[in-house]
């Protein structure tokens, strides 16, 4: 066959109309187009004992330099074997870790590309790999009679066999709240929001945590590839409202409330039960209260004080969480291997106000002061040290139905005694032992309590309520106190976050500064004594592992707590008994030692969820779509989810540790030692 005909058959064009070598087939180029020159190069290298690869790299490098092509420097790293291009996952991890918008990344990518630097992947590649880190991109089953054993949850990112039973895919977009829950008896409330499916979000989080779980199993001499190991997984979750988001107001939101509503969760511990019945810790989160540990599940513009808005936001999540309680979830972590988890929930990341409203209890000013037991304000003082955690969802639901029907025609006073503080049917399907005590809100409320004591001691008054005659004295004392604390800490207390203010007030080095304005030395010593007593209790409920860190103090916790309570009643008889003081005295040790609990109060803090409010504000203002409320909230939820991804955090930490030159963007050296740094070479 003639060469021209062969060329036409191979490439579709004649020799006279040659296409670029890059577009032609390599086999054709090797056998016809460059056959002679390749033979000459091979012959030259053989005769002169040169490396053929080095010769070809040098020729390419020299030609690009002769024609002033900016791709010439990139040949050096390729020639030396230093291929330092980042993978799409690494690029995504860096973009998320630095809170960079897609537009900024795109501009940086094309800027470096024009300079001949091809370190970063294209924005299109990042958009594709981003789906692999979203909750919908996971395979798992839930062992349940309701769904049927072996039902498979899947997404388009995880192809499956056609013979498997599939759950319909929702795609990669978050769920619109107003579309997923339509109740005919309720009008749609004034809100906009999006959320992820709770089982999918948990399964994806457990999939990302599996490398750490494998390390824990190997560390404890267990086979990480044993599919029969059942892991007990502890998850904390909760919702939080956020006020005053009008600083990012848009014209399309003029009818929406000026508040936001968020729901988040975090995996705090993974254990397994040994044959002897002991519980072995496989994985424990080092920073359970970090912003990047608490994963968002719902982002909405809604008012938490509006009942129907809370129902629309919370009811679907509560249904999914209630379904997963005690169930075994099997997560496909790699190829055909499935990891088994039994889920245990703690709805602890909620404040007192939200807990009472959504658990069907009366407000904080009620005669029944505790959300964990049925103690009244009078009984809390007179029966100090005798209360246990007794409230349950079933009892609350039963009492709410009885109050609503009132079949025995009881009077209002009789109903108040029967109600035990219950006001309406609960929305949150959780017992009191599953809610626990929020350590951060305990700090905030206890710091406010002790500050009130100090201010009244400075003012020399013995009344707790701010009556008209003592209010000027207390206000003047507060101004003096803030000035002294500002001089000692360098920070204005009025501008501090409540949690940070509590840490400052309870710090041992600041105790003498806090009480320095109390004129009576005996009263000053009493305040110092009560602060010291409280610090012995605080270190227990703030600890993540109190049984290991303070075993002796934990045994004596209830005794010390009751002693502090009696000390308060004896020397500060004018105080009112606040809710969190009752919880700290009565229920902390019980909650830590209860077999149904996680063994800690400090790990159940809602601090990470509170800090996520700042992330919500930033993402909504800087990194989300404008003019589209639902679209913007979808961007916020997706970015916040990626920001809290354990897999992306580990990738970004690994990439950041590599030395990268800020001049040539190559790995292995920094700018001062860069060969292209003319200033350094001159010096």
Q: Which residues pair with 237 in a beta bridge?
A: 265
The Cα 479–Cα 484 span in angstroms is 9
Q: How many CB atoms lie within 10 A of CB 270?
A: 24
User: pTM of the entire structure?
Assistant: 0.81
Q: Which residues pair with 152 in a beta bridge?
A: 166
- Which regions of the chain are under pLDDT 50? 1-16, 145-150, 152, 156-169
Q: Which of 503, 523, 524 lies closest to 513 in space, CA to CA?
A: 524
pLDDT at 569 (0 to 100): 92
Structure tokens at 543: 């600890």
The Cα 260–Cα 241 span in angstroms is 6
3-class secondary-structure state, position 25 = coil
pLDDT at 554 (0 to 100): 92
Q: Residues 6 or more apart from 284 whose CB is under 8 A from it?
A: 268, 269, 270, 544
The residue extents of the domains of the chain are 3-66, 88-130+653-682, 175-349+608-630, 360-434, 436-604
pLDDT at 308 (0 to 100): 83
pLDDT at 166 (0 to 100): 42
pLDDT at 527 (0 to 100): 92
CB 49 within 8 A of CB 43: no
Q: Residues 6 or more apart from 109 whose CB is under 8 A from it?
A: 120, 121, 122, 123
CB 474 within 8 A of CB 416: no
Q: Residues 6 or more apart from 572 whose CB is under 8 A from it?
A: 453, 526, 530
Q: Which residues pair with 523 in a beta bridge?
A: none
The Cα 250–Cα 116 span in angstroms is 41
In angstroms, how far is CA 609 from the centroid of its own chain? 7
Q: How far is CA 602 from CA 340, 507, 549, 564, 574, in A?
A: 27, 17, 13, 21, 30
The kind and range of the H/E element at 233 are: strand 230-243
In angstroms, how far is CA 576 from the centroid of its own chain? 36
CB 624 within 8 A of CB 637: no
The Cα 74–Cα 112 span in angstroms is 12
pLDDT at 35 (0 to 100): 85
pLDDT at 201 (0 to 100): 93
Q: Which of 153, 485, 61, 511 lies closest to 338 in space, CA to CA?
A: 153
């Amino acid at each position: 066959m003639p060469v021209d005909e062969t060329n036409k058959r191979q490439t579709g064009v004649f020799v006279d109309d040659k296409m670029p070598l890059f577009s032609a087939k390599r086999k054709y180029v090797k056998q016809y187009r460059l056959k002679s020159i390749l033979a000459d190069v091979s012959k030259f290298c053989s005769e002169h004992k040169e490396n053929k690869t080095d010769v070809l790299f040098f020729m390419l490098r020299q030609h690009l330099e002769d024609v002033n092509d900016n791709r010439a420097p990139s040949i050096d790293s390729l020639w030396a074997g230093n291929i330092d291009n980042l993978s799409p996952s690494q690029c995504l991890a860096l973009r998320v870790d630095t809170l960079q918008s897609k537009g900024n990344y795109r501009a940086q990518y094309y800027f470096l590309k024009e300079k001949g630097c091809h370190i970063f992947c294209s924005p299109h590649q990042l958009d594709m790999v981003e789906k692999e880190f979203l909750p919908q991109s996971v395979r798992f089953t839930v062992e349940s009679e309701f769904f049927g054993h072996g039902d498979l949850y899947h997404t388009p990112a995880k192809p499956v066999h056609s013979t498997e039973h599939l759950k319909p895919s929702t795609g990669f977009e978050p769920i619109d709240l107003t579309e997923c829950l339509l109740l005919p008896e309720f009008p749609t409330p004034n809100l906009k929001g999006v959320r992820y499916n709770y089982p999918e979000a948990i399964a994806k989080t457990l999939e990302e945590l599996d490398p750490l779980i494998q390390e824990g199993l190997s560390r404890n001499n267990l086979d990480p590839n044993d599919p029969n190991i059942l892991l007990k997984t502890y998850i904390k979750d909760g919702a939080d409202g956020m006020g005053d988001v009008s600083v990012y107001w848009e014209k399309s939101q003029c009818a929406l409330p000026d508040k936001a509503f968020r729901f988040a969760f975090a995996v705090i511990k993974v254990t397994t039960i040994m044959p002897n019945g002991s519980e072995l810790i496989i994985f424990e989160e080092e920073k359970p209260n970090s912003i990047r540990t608490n994963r968002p599940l719902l982002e909405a513009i809604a008012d938490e004080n509006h009942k129907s808005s809370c129902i629309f936001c919370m009811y679907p999540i509560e249904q999914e969480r209630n379904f997963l309680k005690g169930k075994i979830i099997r997560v496909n972590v790699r190829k055909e291997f499935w990891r088994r988890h039994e889920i245990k929930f703690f709805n602890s990341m909620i404040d007192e106000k939200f807990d009472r409203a959504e658990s069907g209890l009366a407000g904080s000013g009620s005669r029944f002061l505790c959300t964990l037991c049925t103690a009244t304000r009078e009984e809390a003082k007179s029966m100090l040290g005798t209360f246990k955690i007794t409230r349950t969802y079933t009892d609350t639901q039963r009492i709410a139905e009885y109050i609503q029907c009132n079949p025995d025609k009881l009077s209002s006073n009789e109903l108040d005694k029967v109600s035990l503080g219950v006001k309406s049917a609960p929305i949150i399907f959780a017992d009191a032992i599953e809610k626990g005590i929020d350590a951060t809100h305990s700090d905030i409320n206890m710091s406010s309590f002790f500050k009130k004591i100090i201010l009244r001691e400075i003012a020399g008054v013995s009344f707790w309520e701010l009556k008209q005659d003592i209010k000027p004295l207390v206000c003047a004392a507060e101004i003096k106190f803030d000035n002294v604390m500002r001089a000692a800490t360098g920070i204005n207390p009025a501008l501090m976050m409540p949690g940070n203010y509590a840490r400052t007030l309870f710090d041992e080095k600041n105790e003498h500064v806090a009480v320095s304005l109390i004129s009576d030395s005996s009263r000053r010593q009493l305040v110092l004594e009560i602060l010291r007593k409280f610090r012995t209790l605080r270190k227990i409920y703030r600890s993540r592992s109190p049984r290991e860190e303070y075993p002796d103090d934990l045994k004596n916790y209830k005794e010390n707590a009751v002693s502090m309570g009696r000390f308060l009643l004896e020397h500060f008889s004018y105080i009112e008994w606040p809710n969190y003081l009752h919880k700290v005295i009565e229920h902390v040790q019980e909650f830590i030692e209860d077999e149904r609990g996680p063994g800690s109060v400090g790990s159940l803090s809602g601090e990470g969820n509170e800090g996520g409010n700042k992330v919500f504000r930033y993402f909504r203002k800087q990194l989300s779509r404008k003019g589209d409320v639902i679209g913007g909230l979808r961007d916020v939820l997706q970015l916040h989810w990626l920001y809290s991804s354990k897999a992306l955090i580990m990738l970004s930490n690994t990439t950041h540790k590599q030395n990268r030159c800020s001049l040539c963007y190559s790995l292995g050296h920094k700018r001062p030692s860069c060969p292209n740094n003319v200033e350094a070479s001159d010096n």
